[in-house]
Structure 1
Amino acid sequence: MKKPLLFALLIFISLSCITESEPNFNGIKFDGTGYKPIYSTVEDLAKIQVSAPQPLVQPGKIYVFDPYIFINESGKGIHIIDNSDPKNPQNLSFIAITGNYDMAVKGNWLYADNLSNLLVFDISDPKTPKLAKTIADAIPVNNYPPFNNIYFECAESKKGIVVGWEKVPMSEQPKCFR
């Protein structure tokens, strides 16, 4: 009676030790989604434009330069808002900057990232910012998403410059993990 029970227990233990056909990283199993790079060209990356106000969709950092407020639109650029009347703020304009996630203001200068480039704007009149200087390759750029414990499609430089990442369904487990 004990032998069949022992035999069944050994089979159960050996079957529970069978590994999956797909490898997992850090114990994280692929759930059918991953991050896909969004590519741009060098020419598109260099296009910096001040345009009409845009609605806030995915706001990031906020910087106050009284009475103005600069609000980052993650990966897209910077909104300029006149907050002279806090009960009725006025969205003045939008600086379109591909790959913009960070900014700072010192004196009459707005500093913004444009992926690896550092842009310097003269904001002595915040209603009409002017690009004063571009410092190429001032910021190191990583070709992987800014998240941990995720699967992602490996970046390919021949497709262009990675300007962002989007989470999408994937039929196969990507080769890259972070």
Structure 2
Amino acid sequence: MPTRLLLCTLFGGLLLVNACRSDHDWDTNSTPYEPVYNADPSTKHVRFLPPRSTVNGGNLYTSGDYVLEEEKDSGLHVISYQDAVHPKKLAFISVPGFRAAAIKGDYLYVSNYDDLVTIRLNGFGNMQEAGRISQAWHLNDYPPFTGVLFVCADSTKGTIVAWKLSEDLSGTSAKCRR
């Protein structure tokens, strides 16, 4: 038993030592990432548009005789299945920064970057935004990669909509790392 405890302690210690990185372990010569901001207020507008073709479809949600099909990063297609043999696209709900949706009762809840938007489903010909909670959740203020340097996020510049390789090849503006 003491041997097993000693081995577990030793293995755990090795894991901890390996998990620690010193400043010398980071490649400061690599090109850092920088956030791409959008401060345009129209980025937070949900629009109801005519139907369009699906480019990057995702999950399906049902509400009565209707199906909502995700269009990754841009919104939802509204499809009528009143005639199941001949489904018909009725509209497109444009939601910039769309990531997820849910339906509860007569309401559709969608993400609009860091906002939660409520849309009343009182007939798909007459949809309207019923409510909005600004900054309902925290968006990641770091790139979706590990072991990289990046320019620290600044929420005063707007909503982060993407990450790109920095034009500052020396990395002097990169003060953060992940």
Q: Please give the range of the TM-score, normalised by the shorter of the 2 chains.
A: 0.5 to 0.7
TM-superposition CA deviations, 1:25-45 (whole Å, max 9, x none): 9xxxx6x8x866443225122
Asked if 1:89 is matched to 2:104, the reply is no
**1:108 Cα offset (Å):** 0.6
> What is the TM-score of this pair, normalised by structure 1?
0.66
Looking at structure 2, the residues matched to 23 and 47 of structure 1 have their Cα atoms a distance apart, in angstroms, of: 40
Find the residue that maps to 1:45 and give its secondary structure.
helix
TM-superposition CA deviations, 1:29-85 (whole Å, max 9, x none): x6x8x8664432251223221011122222233212232111222222221111233
Match of 2:146 among 135, 142, 149: 149
**Which protein is bigger by CA-based radius of gyration?**
1
Asked if 1:73 is matched to 2:80, the reply is no
Asked if the contact 2:46/2:93 (under 8 Å) is kept, the reply is yes
**1:168 Cα offset (Å):** 6.5
User: CA 1:83/1:148 → structure 2, altered by over 3 Å: closer, same or farther?
Assistant: farther
Moved more, 126-135 or 102-111: 126-135
Q: What aligned pairs does 1:5-154 form with structure 2 within 5 A after superposition? A: 23-24=26-27, 37-145=35-143, 147-149=144-146, 151=148, 153-154=150-151
**1:143 Cα offset (Å):** 1.7
Looking at structure 2, the residues matched to 57 and 166 of structure 1 have their Cα atoms a distance apart, in angstroms, of: 22
Asked if the contact 1:61/1:103 (under 8 Å) is kept, the reply is no
Please provide the CA RMSD for this pair: 3.3
Asked if 1:165 is matched to 2:162, the reply is yes
User: CA 1:123/1:177 → structure 2, altered by over 3 Å: closer, same or farther?
Assistant: same
Looking at structure 2, the residues matched to 92 and 35 of structure 1 have their Cα atoms a distance apart, in angstroms, of: 40
**1:141 Cα offset (Å):** 1.8
Looking at structure 2, the residues matched to 54 and 166 of structure 1 have their Cα atoms a distance apart, in angstroms, of: 28
TM-superposition CA deviations, 1:123-145 (whole Å, max 9, x none): 02023311111122222222234
Find the residue that maps to 1:85 and give its secondary structure.
coil
Asked if the contact 1:78/1:94 (under 8 Å) is kept, the reply is yes
Find the residue that maps to 1:139 and give its secondary structure.
coil
Find the residue that maps to 1:50 and give its secondary structure.
strand
Please list every run of 5 or more consecutive structure 1 residues that lacks an aligned counterpart in the other structure: 1-20
**1:105 Cα offset (Å):** 0.3
Q: How many residues are paired up?
A: 151
In structure 2, what residue type is equivalent to 1:99?
G
Percent same amino acid at aligned positions? Answer: 25
Looking at structure 1, the residues matched to 135 and 108 of structure 2 have their Cα atoms a distance apart, in angstroms, of: 18
**1:115 Cα offset (Å):** 1.6
Looking at structure 2, the residues matched to 127 and 150 of structure 1 have their Cα atoms a distance apart, in angstroms, of: 48
